Amino acid sequence: MSNTWTDRWNDRYSNEEFAYGTAPNNYFKEQVEKLKIGSILFPAEGEGRNAVFAAQLGWKVSAFDISAEGKNKAIKLAEANKVKIDYQVGALESLHFQTEQFDAIALIYAHFPAEIKSSIHKSLDLHLRKGGVIIFEAFSKKHLEYLAVNDKVGGPKDIESLFSIEEIQADFSNYEIITLEETEIELKEGLFHNGKGSVIRFVGIKK
């Protein structure tokens, strides 16, 4: 992954204030509380708000991101909440997760560069056991209309980095779909997710 991409996220996470707040994402919270506790992976986890919440529930938590600054904030947040998370820095292919290691994977605003986003989804699938669950929320292609009105809602500004229902169906074709929808939501998450946006929400069980 390019140094420009890494630098961008290190810059965003270098401030004292948490870019997206310290509370978990609402949709993730709602969905993870329905699951039997086990092991969970958080790709592109940033400053750790969702990973720390899962650890507080009793999950065995692994996370990764390309940003060392993100990890630093996540570890501080975990320590403040008296929990432990295994947080690694690097791209997925450089890390050594095991095949079918996890009971769940949470992809919460995990907007990877457009040219690799589908391949990362398919690689992540290898690390989820059969019967495991994906929880996904990220901006849809329609979100550009919302960004044009209010850039404080955040999210990628290029349509290729945004998601469609059809892309999720293709990337996770071996899943029983519990939920797959495009919907408008109101975000209030830290400094960079504020206002109305359009998202894809997906919950799937690996067949």
Long-range contact set of residues 113-117: C-beta below 8 Å, sequence gap at least 24: 113/1, 113/2, 113/5, 113/161, 114/158, 114/160, 114/161, 116/1, 117/161
Look at residue 3 in the predicted model and tell me its pLDDT. 85
Identify the structural domains of the chain with CATH numbers, from first to last.
3-206 (3.40.50.150)
Q: Residue by residue, what is the 3-state secondary structure of 104-139?
A: EEEEECCCCCCCCHHHHHHHHHHCEEEEEEEEEEEE
Model confidence at 2: pLDDT above 90: no
Q: Are 51 and 108 in contact (CB under 8 A)?
A: no
Residues 156-186 pLDDT 10s: 999 999 999 999 999 999 999 999 999 999 9
Whole-angstrom distance, CA of residue 78 vs CA of residue 49: 9
d(CA 29, CA 14): 26
For residue 53, pLDDT over 70 is answered with yes
99 burial class (0-12, 13-18, 19+ CB within 10 angstroms)? exposed
Q: Is 197 exposed, middle or buried (0-12, 13-18, 19+ CB in 10 A)?
A: buried
Q: Is-above-0.75 flag for pTM?
A: yes
pLDDT in tens, 71-105: 999 999 999 999 999 999 999 999 999 999 999 99
Q: How confident is the model at residue 194 (pLDDT cuts 50, 70, 90)?
A: very high
Annotate 29-53 with b (16+ C-beta within 10 A) or e (fewer): eebbeebeeebbbbbbbbbbbbbbb
Q: What single-letter amino acid sits at 175? A: Y
- With residue 22 as reference, give the H or E element that holds it: none
For position 5, what pLDDT does the model report? 87
Mean pLDDT, residues 110-119 taken together = 94
Compute the mean pLDDT over every residue in the chain, rounded to the nearest whole number.
97
Q: What is the mean pLDDT of residues 97-123?
A: 96
Contact 19, 191 (CB under 8 A): yes
pLDDT at 73: 98
The residue length of the chain stands at 207
SS3 label, residue 199: strand
